[in-house]
A = this chain, B = another copy of it.
Amino acid sequence: MAKELPTRAEDYAQWYVELVKKADLAENSDVRGCMVIKPYGYTLWENMQRALDKMFKDTGHVNAYFPLFVPKSMFEAEEKNAEGFAKECAIVTHYRLKNDPSKPGKLMVDPEAKLEEELVVRPTSEAIIWNTYKKWIQSYRDLPILINQWANVVRWEMRTRLFLRTAEFLWQEGHTAHATRQEAEQEARLMLDVYAEFAERFMAVPVIKGRKSDGERFPGAVDTYCIEALMQDGKALQAGTSHFLGQNFATAFDVQFSTKEGKLDYVWGTSWGVSTRLIGGIIMAHSDDDGLILPPRLAPLHVVIVPIFRSEEELNKITAAIEPVIGDLRKAGLSVKFDNRDTQKPGFKFAEYELKGVPVRIAVGPRDLENGTLEVARRDTKQKQVLKMEGITTAITALLEEIQSNLFARALKFREEHTTRVDSYEEFKRVLDDKGGFVLAHWDGTTETEQRIKDETKATIRCIPLEGGQETGACVYSGKPSAGRVVFARAY
């Protein structure tokens, strides 16, 4: 293979970063902490956006767009939210450059163009949006508002990693406003379900739905719901969050409405988001030492066809025979590439498409033409089979579905094998170190215990799971009473 990767066993973190770069998904830019999302990675994101956007619209949401900048005084209105993001905000202070008199051809910030009030580049948009909702909401008739925004946001992270943690990232953020507490809570849970369905059906990544502990809650929320996924190195990845905001932002921005009964009340809110971080999750959940393995429902390219030829004449024959096949596959909605380059050998191409995670590879040579067959290889298991050219579209479509199911089943099996119930702190630490994964343990419900466990083991409470029967017990750390097991893990 032209582009060697470290193996996962050797160095998982390095394997991940090299894979992202070598598979042409993204690279670091020369702007601190910001990435360039390359066309192959961006197409994956577009496919994710399309699926999510449809799910949002099917549940009654519409898209809109709010400003990139938040004036400082607006930003600080919801104090907890402001405090939570203050340490990682990019701040615009000036609105003009001018020629630098001391350096011909160079520019400098014009000190005379200082803003009266600094602007925060949005790390999240609750402030600007609730400030706008104030103007839109007078009566219960104006509710609910069910809006989503596709946007870039900036959080000044000190240690960054492609897709998983970058200073600028792309995401969607839903912001809804409701007349009742119950309706807002239902909305937050509904969107959590939407995220879980997206993760499992499209990304082929099983997730645990849960609620965050007080210590891990979104700043400004009353409740944060989340989906948590498990990566192959045994670390958890938060794959989406949905916040029940209570009346916190409505209070901070004075968004009141007259109820059906003619009283004034503050509006109830939710917000929810997923980001380009999910691309990191897809990569780490499925891929292997040879490269990406992408779920067919999101893959930029479903099928690559590699002709095996020794002369131009052979290539011409293959091309003539394969063109109708390509046409049929495309008609079935598949993305197909015919790689007829004569500058690279088939083996090189095979390795390249394995690296890029194309779910199905078809090889076709002169012998196949004689027999009316094709050699079909699936990326997930690397199994090859010889199939009749006739009816190939049906076979490939079915195979892609099978790959999608297999990826999910494999990831689910891995998660089950890496989910451990422990009943002592010793066992807790041993499982974390030896095996990793999700550790289901009793916890006394205090932030103090949570923090101590984190300091001692680097494991955090990923969530208090929504499903799974209540089971009382004793906290593995303090021995105090516990109302149920929570999900611990080391996490990204």
Contact = CB atoms under 8 A, between A and B. Distances in A.
Contacts of A76: 105-107
B30 A71 contact: yes
A388 interface: no
B69 A34 contact: yes
A16 interface: no
A319 interface: no
A92 B95 contact: no
A106 B45 CA distance: 38
Given A37-B65, A64-B37, A64-B39, A109 B91 contact: yes
Contacts of A325: none
A91 B86 contact: no
Contacts of A37: 64-65
B170 A65 contact: yes
A106 to B, nearest CB: 6
A121 B109 CA distance: 13
A152 B168 CA distance: 13
Candidate in A92, A152, A154 with the most chain B CB atoms within 10 angstroms: A92
A65 B169 CA distance: 10
**Is chain A's binding surface mostly helix, strand, loop or mixed?**
mixed
Contacts of A299: none
A70 B107 CA distance: 13
A79 interface: yes
A29 B122 CA distance: 14
A89 B98 contact: no
14 contacts: A27-B135, A31-B71, A31-B74, A36-B132, A39-B62, A42-B62, A42-B63, A46-B63, A67-B168, A76-B105, A86-B96, A87-B97, A88-B96, A92-B93
A95 to B, nearest CB: 4
A94 interface: yes
A29 B68 contact: no
Given A30-B71, A67-B31, A91 B95 contact: yes
Nearest to A45: B65
A363 interface: no
Contacts of A170: 65
Nearest to A61: B39
A193 to B, nearest CB: 23
Given A35-B67, A62-B42, A79 B105 contact: yes
B68 A34 contact: yes
Contacts of A109: 72, 91, 93, 118
Contact of A86 (B62, B67, B98, B132): B98
A119 B90 CA distance: 10
A19 interface: no
Nearest to A79: B105
A43 B67 contact: no
A152 B69 CA distance: 12
A147 interface: yes
Contacts of A71: 30-31
Interface string A96-131: 111100000111010000000011110000001001
A82 interface: yes
A275 B88 CA distance: 30
Contact of A67 (B29, B64, B93): B29
B66 A156 contact: no
Contacts of A45: 65
Given A31-B67, A89-B97, A91-B93, 8 more contacts: A29-B128, A35-B67, A37-B64, A37-B65, A39-B147, A90-B92, A91-B97, A152-B152
B69 A31 contact: yes
A38 interface: yes
A387 to B, nearest CB: 30
A86 B72 contact: no
